[in-house]
Amino acid sequence: MGKGLFITGTDTEVGKTWVTSVLAAAAARRISLHNAGQGTVLSNPLHLWKPIQSGSQPGDPRADSFRLLRGSGIEQTEEETVTYSLKAPLAPWMAARRAGTLIPWEELLAEGERKLASYPRLLVEGAGGLLVPLTERYTVADLAAAMGLPLLIVARTRLGTVNHTLLTIEAARQRGLRIAGVLLNGYPGDDDLALSETIEMIEQFGSVPVLGVFPQLEEEPVSMEEWEAWRDQWIEIVESRIRMDEIMSFF
Ligand SMILES: Nc1ncnc2c1ncn2[C@@H]1O[C@H](COP(=O)(O)OP(=O)(O)OP(=O)(O)O)[C@@H](O)[C@H]1O
Ligand SMILES: C[C@H](N)[C@@H](CCCCCC(=O)O)NC(=O)O
Ligand SMILES: [Mg+2]
C-alpha cells in the first residue's frame, strides 16, 4: 500500500489547493534529486487526488484539478486528478443533489483504495472543511477515515483561526483520525508576535505541531512560464519555512 496525506482545512478558501500543489512540487523535487543520486528515474514520484470538486469542471483554469497540476508540475491528467466534478459551488452533497445525482460512496472509496494501491505516495485534497457533507450520510472526515490517511490541516493566520483550528482538531480526534500537523497559510507579514502567539495556542491546546507558515503572495499566474516561476518561488519558501522532513515522513 502507498502512503499518503489527506489535506483538509478549517474552511473553504483557506488555501488547500495552493498548499497541496506547492507541497507536491517541493516533494517531487526532493524525490527526483534523491532518485537521481541513486541512479533511478521515476516519472511519477507522487500522485494528486481531488475526489470531488464542486463549482468547476476539468479544463476550467479556476478548477482545483487544473490548479493542482499547474501549481505542482506533476504530470497526470485532470481526469486522473478529479473523480467527480459538480457544477454548483456548494457542499458536494447539495451540488450533486441539484444535478439530480448522488455521489456513489462505495465507488468513491474503491477509487481511493485503487489509488493508494497504485501509487507510492498520494496527496488527497478534501472539499471545504472537515465536516462538509459529501453525500446524505458521509462527510470529508469519513472519507479520510475510510482511507486511513493522516490529516494535514490548512488554516488561516488571521484572528479567529485558533478557534477554527482547535474545533477541527477536536472533530478529527473524535473520529479517530490521526493529525500530522497544521500549516498556516496567507500570513501578510504584519504581526510576528500575534503569529507566534497563535502558533503557541494551537500547539498547546491542540497537542499538534504547526509545521510552517506560508506567506501571502500575489495572485496566481496565467501562462505556463509564469506557473513555472511561481513553482520555483514556492519551492524555495517551502524549503526555508516549512518542516518538510516531518511532512514527508507521512507520505
Ligand atoms: N498564500 C497565499 N497568498 C495569496 N493568495 C492565496 C494564498 N493561498 C491561497 N490564495 C488564494 O486564495 C484563494 C483560495 O485558495 P484555494 O483555492 O487554495 O482554497 P481551498 O482551501 O483549496 O478552497 P476549496 O475549499 O474551494 O478547495 C485562491 O484564489 C488562491 O489563489
Ligand atoms: C465550492 C467550494 N469551492 C468547495 C466546497 C465548499 C463547501 C463548503 C460548505 C460549508 O462548509 O458550508 N468545493 C471544492 O472544494 O471543490
Ligand atoms: Mg481547493
Predicted local distance difference test score (pLDDT) of residue 220: 77
51 lines ligand 1 (CB under 6 A): no
How far apart are alpha carbons 231 and 171 in whole angstroms?
33
pLDDT per residue, tens digit, the chain (251 aa), is 569 999 999 999 999 999 999 999 999 999 988 888 888 766 678 999 999 999 999 999 999 999 999 999 999 999 999 999 999 999 999 999 999 999 999 999 999 999 999 999 999 999 999 999 999 999 999 999 999 999 999 999 999 999 999 999 999 999 999 999 999 999 999 999 999 999 999 999 999 999 999 999 987 788 888 899 999 999 999 999 999 999 999 98
Nearest atom in ligand 2 to the alpha carbon of residue 133 is 9
User: Per-domain residue ranges for the chain?
Assistant: 3-248
Closest ligand 2 atom to Cα of 16 = 15
How many whole angstroms separate alpha carbon 91 and alpha carbon 250?
28
For position 66, what pLDDT does the model report?
A: 96
Distance of CA 99 to the CA centre of its chain: 26
Does the annotation count 87 as an active-site position? no
pLDDT of residue 45: 82
Looking at CATH, the fold of the domain delimited by 3-248 is given as Rossmann fold (3.40.50)
CA 5 – ligand 1 centroid, Å: 19
Which residues fall within 8 angstroms of residue 208, CB to CB, at 6 or more apart?
153, 169, 179, 181, 182, 202
**Exposed e or buried b per residue across 142-174, where buried means at least 16 C-beta atoms within 10 angstroms of its C-beta:** bbbbebebbbbbbbbbeeebbebbbebbebbee
* Ligand 2 centroid distance, CA of 16 (Å): 11
Show Cβ contacts of residue 214 under 8 Å, excluding neighbours closer than 6 positions.
Answer: 15, 18, 19, 22, 183, 184, 185, 186, 187, 237, 241, 242
Q: Which of 16, 50, 87, 115 is catalytic?
A: 50
Which residues is 187 bridged to in the sheet? 215
Which of the ligands is closest to the CA of residue 187?
Answer: 1
Q: Is the ipTM of this complex over 0.95?
A: yes
Question: Is any ligand 1 atom within 6 A of the Cβ of residue 128?
Answer: yes
Q: Tell which atom from ligand 2 comes closest to the C-alpha of 88.
A: 1
Hey, which residues does 153 pair with through a beta bridge? 8, 182
Task: Answer yes or no: is the C-beta of 192 below 6 A from any ligand 1 atom.
Answer: no
The amino acid sitting at 58 is P
pLDDT of 35 reads 85
For helices 140-147 and 105-118, angle between their N-to-C axes, nearest 10 degrees: 40
Question: Which residues are placed with Cβ below 5 angstroms of ligand 3, an ion?
Answer: 16-17, 64
Distance CA 164, CA 168 (A): 6
pLDDT of residue 42: 66
- Could you give the CA distance from residue 210 to residue 187 in angstroms, rounded to a whole number? 14
Q: Is the CB of 203 under 6 A from ligand 1?
A: no
Q: Tell how far the Cα of 187 is from the centroid of ligand 1, in angstroms.
A: 12
Cell output for 178:
490521526
- For the segment 62-116, what is each residue's pLDDT rounded down to a tens digit? 999 999 999 999 999 999 999 999 999 999 999 999 999 999 999 999 999 999 9
Q: What is the pLDDT of residue 39?
A: 81
Burial class (CB within 10 angstroms; exposed 0-12, middle 13-18, buried 19+) of 46:
buried
